[in-house]
């Protein structure tokens, strides 16, 4: 009987230790362990927006969307009270045919295409006024990739001026076991020597420090690590049901003789 009691006590202690580990894994991931003196006073300057693929918030071409090979231009040229309409495909050399006029529009914007069409039509028309509408062959959306301790890892469409915090929100937020102090941002370039940055969102949530909420670039890979206590908590959640089933037969074997010998 004493041996059985010792076994029951040992199992109870083990369950208590696992319970403590699971509680430890429930810490607030947004609470920074750094002191307030660690807050940076330097502001982060956003890099200039590169031309190229569109952002997720640009569902239709904008005035800044570049004209590329395979796009279609709808051109209207007005002169006096009359007007002429043309529809032309942008060829491999970046030019379009507006009637019998060849105009180079590759890489330019709609406003630039209108100016070029007007200049090309002046020798043949008096005071032409051009209006150009762009129809994209394919809208290629910029994107970033979020992995690690988030709820929905994978590809995230990139909005204009997107930061690490916004990318995590697009991935349906982080798990409660996430280690927000050591988020890694892997930036392109040489695969042998990638550019690795560290974002610290815990400082943002604790002190309002925005300096480590890094601005993202196209094809950045964001990895959110998980703290070790989070691993222990997950292990505890898996082991607890097994241990409960294992000790169920022990309780009657221990409690019944104890109650039978109990004397008030």
- For position 44, what pLDDT does the model report? 53
User: Would you say residue 30 lies in a domain?
Assistant: no
- For position 230, what pLDDT does the model report? 47
Which residues fall within 8 angstroms of residue 15, CB to CB, at 6 or more apart?
A: 240, 243
Element (H, E) at 237: helix 228-247
Mean pLDDT by 10 residues, the chain (264 residues): 50 50 51 61 51 67 82 89 88 90 91 93 88 81 91 91 94 89 82 81 88 90 79 56 58 52 54
- Residues 121, 122, 125: CA angle, nearest 5 degrees: 80
Prediction pTM value: 0.50
Residues 172 and 213 in one domain: yes
Residues 222 and 147 in one domain: yes
User: Would you say residue 109 lies in a domain?
Assistant: yes
Distance CA 167, CA 216 (A): 9
Please answer whether residues 181 and 149 qualify as being in contact, where contact means their C-beta atoms are separated by less than 8 angstroms: no
User: Would you say residue 31 lies in a domain?
Assistant: no
Distance CA 225, CA 163 (A): 18
User: Would you say residue 222 lies in a domain?
Assistant: yes
Residues 40 and 20 in one domain: no
Structural domain total, the chain: 3
Residues 154 and 199 in one domain: yes
User: Would you say residue 60 lies in a domain?
Assistant: no
- For position 37, what pLDDT does the model report? 60
CA nearest to 69, candidates 92, 86, 87: 92
Residues 88 and 150 in one domain: no
Residues 44 and 90 in one domain: no
Residues 160 and 40 in one domain: yes
Residues 172 and 48 in one domain: yes
- Residues 80, 102, 100: CA angle, nearest 5 degrees: 60
Residues 83 and 211 in one domain: no
User: Would you say residue 67 lies in a domain?
Assistant: no
How far is the CA of 124 from the CAs of 77, 86, 139, in angstroms? 12, 16, 35
Domain residue limits at 129: 72-135
Please answer whether residues 67 and 105 qualify as being in contact, where contact means their C-beta atoms are separated by less than 8 angstroms: yes
User: Would you say residue 242 lies in a domain?
Assistant: yes
Residues 49 and 166 in one domain: yes
- For position 120, what pLDDT does the model report? 92
Q: What is the CATH number of the domain that holds 128?
A: 3.30.1950.10
């Amino acid at each position: 009987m004493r041996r059985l009691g010792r076994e029951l006590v040992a199992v109870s202690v083990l369950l208590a230790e696992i319970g403590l580990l699971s509680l430890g894994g429930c810490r607030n991931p947004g609470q920074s362990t750094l002191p307030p003196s660690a807050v940076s006073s330097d502001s982060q300057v956003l890099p200039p927006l590169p031309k190229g693929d569109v952002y997720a918030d640009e569902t239709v071409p904008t005035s800044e969307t570049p004209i590329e090979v395979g796009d279609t231009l709808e051109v209207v040229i007005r002169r006096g009270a009359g007007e002429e309409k043309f529809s032309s495909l942008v060829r491999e050399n970046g030019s379009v045919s507006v009637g019998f006029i060849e105009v180079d529009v590759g890489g330019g914007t709609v406003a630039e295409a209108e100016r070029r069409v007007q200049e090309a039509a002046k020798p043949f028309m008096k005071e032409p006024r051009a209006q150009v509408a762009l129809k994209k062959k394919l809208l290629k959306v910029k994107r970033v990739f979020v992995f690690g301790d988030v709820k929905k890892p994978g590809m995230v469409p990139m909005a204009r001026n997107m930061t690490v915090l916004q990318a995590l929100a697009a991935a349906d937020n982080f798990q409660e076991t996430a280690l927000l102090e050591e988020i890694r941002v892997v930036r392109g370039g040489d695969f042998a020597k990638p550019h690795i940055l560290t974002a610290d969102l815990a400082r943002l949530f604790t002190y309002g420090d925005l300096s480590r909420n890094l601005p993202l670039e196209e094809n950045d890979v964001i990895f959110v690590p998980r703290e070790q206590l989070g691993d222990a908590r997950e292990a505890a959640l898996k082991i607890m049901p097994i241990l409960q089933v294992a000790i169920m037969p022990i309780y009657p074997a221990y409690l019944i003789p104890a109650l039978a010998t109990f004397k008030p």
